Chain A
């Protein structure tokens, strides 16, 4: 135990203050789960606001939801499910030492995330053209409910915070792709892909709830 240097099997990314690579891996993963709990509670505040306002103004949500395009929301749901699949495939590729497949799967994940953001961009700009802005900037006469701006404030806050997470995820995927091309990952060391994958799956789960809560109301 005391003399780690005697081991020749250690990855060059092994940090000496850990007992072994397995402990280093499990520690990183637990740290990411604790971070994900804080993420759940950050989004949780917004979900709580959604629940409060939906119970106050149930009619508002059924009326205002018709302005959201179910088709594009559904397409984006499928895009994110596909990207979760490719992240899981990238981890499996690393575990099996299929180094080329790590990069291919991370590349597809990055591309799917970009598709998601492009669709989101067109959804938002279409609403801006109609005058659908959040809060006091709301300027759209198409919804016969005096609180219509409240629905879209929640919509922009929740899909916006989610979109920021997708953009951060794209940055992380680019970093992983770069490192995988530099041959940093194999079955002995793939911790960054594993924990970025956990983050990416949580972003997927948040969208799994946002989709029915905003797009699928009647």
Chain B
């Protein structure tokens, strides 16, 4: 199958090195004790970048059929819908019910 993208060692090792650096960075940033919500935003921002690198270059979405990327984005959109509709309930309760 000649049409498939073949990643070079340089690309694969480069992505892995970037993931390693970002892992060390997210642990290091944790010890700075940034005020909330900046600590959460930073940690999730780094995680999103890492996940993006894996999806684009290890899962090959960068070179792949766009349709597969659309499937992923659709999945994430429905996850967003699940979270936002749930929070419309749980964030606006007078008291936390049930009590667990």
Contacts and interface: CB of A to CB of B under 8 A. Distances in A.
Interface of A: 21-22, 25-26, 29-30, 33-34, 36-37, 40-41, 44-45, 47-48, 51-52, 55-56, 58, 70, 74, 77-78, 81-82, 84-85, 87-89, 91-92, 95-96, 147, 150, 187-188, 197-198, 201-202, 204-205, 208-209, 211-213, 216-218
A197 B46 CA distance: 23
A81 B86 contact: no
Given A74-B27, A212-B44, A44 B90 contact: no
Contact of A70 (B30, B59, B64): B30
Chain B contact patch, size range: 35 or more
Which 5 A-B pairs give the minimum distances between C-beta atoms? A37-B75, A212-B43, A44-B79, A85-B16, A40-B75
B75 A70 contact: no
Nearest to B51: A205
Contacts of A204: 54, 58
Contacts of B75: 36-37, 40-41
B71 A205 contact: no
Contact of A209 (B19, B47, B65, B67): B47
Interface of B: 1, 3-4, 6-7, 9, 12-13, 15-16, 19-20, 23, 26-27, 30, 33, 36, 39, 43-44, 46-47, 50-51, 54-55, 58-59, 64-65, 67-68, 71-72, 74-76, 78-79, 82-83, 86-87, 90-91, 96, 100
A81 B20 contact: yes
B72 A209 contact: no
